[in-house]
């Protein structure tokens, strides 16, 4: 119910917990999300919703599998199209975790957008951390957690060689 939604949104704002909308399709959906204090537009289904989300200051999040597959499995707007239009801020792994790294490299390799490799890597590191108010991680910088991944590419796939968590090698 609407009163419950408003109460939950207020509780999250009071605790600095970022809220995400899900599958917004229209300006009206985005406007409603914005009024609730939503910070992240998760999987906008249309260009219209992604553009409206950005205009309202929301981070636009799309699924990394959408990039790897070459489009949405349900016929919604393609993440690569949003990237080419400068409307992609975050990539997440909703059902295929290995897609995060592959998707970041594919975004960087795609000549239809202007993402450099560092900018594409930020889609899966700094940008999601910042959107979630996790300012102690997401980039290599003094005072940050030092969560790192060393990977290489072979063909179209990325392979993780080593992982460090808070500066300690765990893989």
Task: Quick: pLDDT tens for 43-56.
Answer: 999 999 999 999 99
What pLDDT is stored for residue 94 in this prediction? 78
For residue 78, tell me if it sits in a domain: yes
Does residue 55 form part of some domain?
Answer: yes
Q: Is the pLDDT of residue 20 over 90?
A: yes
The single residue listed with the structure tokens 């801020």 is 89
User: Looking at the domain assignment, is residue 121 inside a domain?
Assistant: yes
Percent of the chain whose predicted confidence (pLDDT) is above 90: 94
CATH code assigned at 101: 3.20.20.140
Q: Is 147 among the domain residues? A: no
Boundaries of domain holding 119 = 2-137
Task: Of 84, 81, 103, 83, give the one whose Cα is nearest residue 92.
Answer: 103
pLDDT at 11 over 90: yes
pTM, 2 dp: 0.94
Check pLDDT > 90 for residue 156.
no
When the pLDDT of each residue in the chain is averaged and rounded to a whole number, the result is 96
**Percent of the chain beyond pLDDT 70?**
100
> Is the model's pLDDT at 1 over the cut of 90?
no
For 95, the token pair is 């059902």
Q: Return d(Cα 11, Cα 25) in angstroms, integer.
A: 26
CA distance 137 to 147: 7
Is 31 a member of any domain? yes
Is residue 154 domain-resident? Answer: no
Mean pLDDT over 20-31 rounds to 97
Can you tell me the distance from the alpha carbon of 61 to that of 38, in angstroms, rounded to the nearest whole number? 12
Total number of domains in the chain: 1
In a domain, 89, yes or no: yes
With respect to residue 26, please indicate whether it lies within any of the assigned structural domains: yes
Query: Hey, CA dihedral for 107, 108, 114, 116, is it positive or negative?
Result: positive
């Amino acid at each position: 119910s609407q009163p419950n939604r408003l109460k939950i949104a207020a509780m999250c704002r009071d605790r600095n917990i970022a809220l995400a909308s899900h599958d917004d399709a229209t300006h009206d959906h985005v406007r409603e999300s914005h009024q609730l204090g939503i910070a992240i537009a998760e999987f906008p289904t249309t260009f219209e919703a992604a553009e409206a989300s950005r205009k309202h200051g929301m981070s636009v999040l799309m699924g990394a599998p959408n990039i790897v597959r070459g489009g949405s499995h349900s016929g919604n707007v393609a993440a690569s199209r949003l990237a080419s239009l400068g409307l992609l801020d975050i990539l997440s792994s909703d059902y295929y975790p290995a897609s995060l790294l592959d998707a970041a490299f594919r975004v960087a390799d795609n000549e239809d957008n202007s993402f450099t490799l560092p900018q594409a890597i930020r889609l899966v590191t700094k940008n999601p951390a910042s959107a979630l108010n996790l300012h102690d991680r997401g980039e290599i910088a003094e005072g940050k957690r030092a969560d790192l991944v060393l990977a290489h590419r072979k063909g179209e796939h990325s392979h993780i060689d080593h992982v460090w968590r808070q500066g300690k090698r765990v893989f």
